[in-house]
Amino acid sequence: MRNAFLAALVLIGSACFSPAQGQHADSLLLRSDSVIRGLDSLLNSQDSLSLFRLIDSLIQMTGVKETSQMAVRLGYNSNIVATGRTLGINQFGLSPGVSYYHKTGLYADASAYWSREYTPDLYLTVLSGGYLKTVSKHWSFLAEYNHYFYSAKGSNTYYPYTNNVGASNYFVVKPVTFRLDYYFYFGQKNAHRIQPGLMLTLEKRKWHSLDRIVFFPTVTILFGSENVITDYVFYNDFIQRYRKNKTLPPNAQLPLYYTLSKNVFGAMNYSFVAPISITKKHWTLLLSYTYNIPKSLPYEDLGLKSGGYVSFSITRYIGF
């Protein structure tokens, strides 16, 4: 399928719509509301809730013929403090994207991130692929791979993680959904991320001219591992090394100290999210407020502050 095809769709998305993840009139599409609702999760937001709606949708369509779907979107996020803990950047600004979900459960996604705060403005592109399976009425899971393409280059740029692979599990006893994620980040460094979450789904269908309104407040906790510097140790003969280094060129100087590092694990972020999803025919609007409470791991001193951000997106779904 992919590169040129997805690139063209991203351009379409940036011209027309907004960042998110996730119907109309013929009876087949009306019956497959779950697929669309679900994609609206996969495509509808850049925060940790983006897949909740996808699972919810696919669970609803149990026993109904599935259809393949494409979603083109455009979204906006104000500053996301917690995101920088992993990718080394804060995701904010505009984000066009496109996703394709095949009725077999396979899906692919391309998302771009744009902000005037970075150079170049289009600072990050993410390509994703995965597989979704509804095992039973109460359990669904998703496995996926993501690759991060950073636009900024140069000797001063450092991106520790450029890939991740992992899975999300969803356990539903309506109106409550419990989610458990595991992701392994790799690139120049390796890290583990585990995130449990709890969501309450409040839904209203056929309200005035709208097909569906869903309010799904959620709380999540992000656990992870990092290699952190625990101490600086000076070599022996510090004074002699210092004097000798004054006579050597910069690229030949002897080190004066070395660092000790340790792999630590713990809670990295608490997140409270209040999203509302509004759907009419082929369109879904997602509005959300998220409040993050980031936490430093042992030996870390990041000066992290709690704070909230607003995100919204609009998505157009196309059925096949």
The CA–CA distances, whole Å, from 21 to 6, 25, 63, 240, 285 equal 15, 21, 23, 61, 10
**Ordered structural domains, the chain, with CATH:** 3-224+270-295+307-319 (2.40.160.40)
**What does DSSP say about strands 190-200 and 106-114: parallel, antiparallel, or unpaired?**
unpaired
**pTM, two decimal places:** 0.74
Query: Do the beta carbons of residue 31 and residue 61 sit within 8 Å?
Result: yes
User: How far is the C-alpha of 114 from the C-alpha of 116, rounded, in Å?
Assistant: 7
Which residues have CB under 8 Å from 166's CB, separation 6+?
Answer: 143, 144, 181, 182, 183, 184, 193
Sequential pLDDT tens for the chain (320 residues): 333 322 222 222 322 322 233 222 222 222 233 333 333 333 333 333 445 455 555 444 443 346 788 888 888 887 665 555 656 666 678 889 888 888 888 989 898 988 887 788 888 899 999 998 888 888 888 899 999 998 887 767 778 889 999 998 989 898 998 999 999 999 988 989 999 999 998 989 888 899 889 898 999 999 998 888 887 777 677 666 776 677 777 766 666 676 788 889 999 889 998 989 898 888 888 888 988 888 888 888 777 788 888 888 888 888 77
Give me the pLDDT at residue 153, please: 79
Find, among 35, 119, 113, the residue nearest to 80 by Cα: 113
